[in-house]
Amino acid sequence: MFLDLVYFVIFLMVIGVLYFFVKKEIRWLIILISSYLFYSAWAIEFIPLLIISTLLTFIFGICIAKTNSPKSKKFFLILGLLSSLGMLAVA
pLDDT value for 5: 82
pLDDT value for 76: 96
Residue-by-residue pLDDT tens, the chain, 91 positions: 565 788 888 999 999 999 999 999 999 999 999 999 888 888 888 889 899 999 999 999 999 999 999 999 999 999 999 999 998 887 6
pLDDT value for 46: 85
As a dihedral over the C-alpha atoms of residue 35, residue 36, residue 37, residue 43, rounded to 10 degrees, the angle is 120
The letter for the amino acid at 68 is N
pTM, 2 dp:
0.76
